[in-house]
């Protein structure tokens, strides 16, 4: 995919909020150990990036990324920390550092009409959304904390949790109002607490030579 340099320069704003205050960190400070969540899930996946050019979605593989999400679920809210890594050799740095960390807090309301309202505070901006009571699907919208010159002002996130298969799929869109600009298709697999009866991996040991053969 070929994109002019000036266009790529604007991509520096995509994750600007996620990099904001890097020296201080994006996570809220807390003295002592945090409260024990009801459930902790870790998602590991990959995102593929597309950009809308002349009305057509075009792939931008150099902006693809790997990510992990540490998701802690409490009775009245969720907290997630997302670590993002771009490893493509042609990535030009215009969307921020190759490695980024983002924080999200989702405060959950009571079920109303089979919908759970969600209020969002994050390192990318504030927003709201809704989920179903089983948390299988969610639609979230964030007002992007970016400068006015940014080519987008809204994050739209659609999530689909397939718990039975341990898969999470998301579409993360960066829009200017209702006009789409960039979207990322994410797919992740679930890593949950698990005990092993024995070491899960081993380095092969040298095969012992029988004494009778060694004497030859």
State the average pLDDT for the chain: 85
Check residue 133 and give its pLDDT.
95
Query: How many Å is the Cα radius of gyration of the chain?
Result: 22
- CB neighbour burial string for 142-178, b if at least 16 within 10 angstroms, e if fewer: bebbbeeebbbbbbbbebebeeeeeebebebbbbeee
Higher pLDDT, 200 or 104: 104
Q: How far apart are CA 48 and CA 185, in angstroms?
A: 5
Contact by Cβ (8 Å): 153, 4? no
Check residue 215 and give its pLDDT.
61
Higher pLDDT, 56 or 202: 56
What proportion of the chain, given as a percentage, has pLDDT over 90?
Answer: 62
The pLDDT tens digits of the residues spanning 44-101 come to 999 999 999 999 999 999 999 999 999 999 999 999 999 999 999 999 877 778 999 9
> Above 70 in pLDDT, residue 17?
no
Please give the model's pTM, rounded to 2 decimal places.
0.80
What proportion of the chain, given as a percentage, has pLDDT over 70?
Answer: 85
Domain at 5-27+46-193, CATH from 3.30.1120, 1.10.150, 2.40.128, 1.10.3470? 2.40.128
Give the Å distances, CA to CA, from 147 to 20, 22, 103.
Answer: 12, 17, 19
Burial class (CB in 10 A: 0-12, 13-18, 19+), 18: buried
Check residue 100 and give its pLDDT.
93
For the chain, how many residues are written? 216
Cα–Cα nearest to 105, from 140, 69, 142, 79:
79
Phi/psi at 61 (nearest 5 deg)?
A: -60, -25
Q: How far apart are CA 170 and CA 136, in angstroms?
A: 12
The pLDDT tens digits of the residues spanning 122-177 come to 999 999 999 999 999 999 999 998 888 888 899 999 999 999 999 999 999 999 99
Helices and strands counted in the chain (H then E): 3, 11
């Amino acid at each position: 995919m070929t994109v002019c340099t000036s266009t790529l320069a604007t991509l520096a704003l995509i994750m600007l909020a996620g990099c904001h205050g890097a020296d201080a960190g994006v996570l809220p400070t807390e003295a002592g150990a945090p409260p024990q969540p009801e459930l902790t899930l870790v998602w590991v996946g990959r995102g593929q990036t597309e950009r809308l050019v002349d009305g057509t979605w075009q792939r931008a593989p150099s902006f693809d990324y790997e990510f992990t999400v540490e998701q802690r679920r409490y009775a009245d809210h969720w907290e997630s920390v997302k670590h993002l890594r771009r490893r493509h050799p042609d990535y030009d740095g215009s969307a921020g550092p190759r490695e980024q960390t983002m924080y999200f807090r989702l405060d959950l309301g009571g079920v109303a009409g089979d919908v759970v309202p969600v209020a969002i505070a994050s390192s990318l901006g504030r927003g709201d959304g809704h989920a179903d009571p089983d948390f299988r699907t969610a639609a979230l919208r964030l007002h992007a904390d970016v400068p006015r010159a940014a080519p987008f002002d809204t994050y739209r996130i659609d999530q689909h949790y397939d718990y039975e298969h341990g898969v999470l799929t998301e579409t993360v869109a960066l829009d200017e109002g209702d006009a789409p600009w960039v979207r990322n298709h994410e797919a992740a697999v679930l890593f949950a607490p698990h005990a092993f009866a024995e070491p899960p991996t081993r380095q092969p040991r040298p095969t012992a030579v029988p004494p009778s053969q060694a004497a030859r």
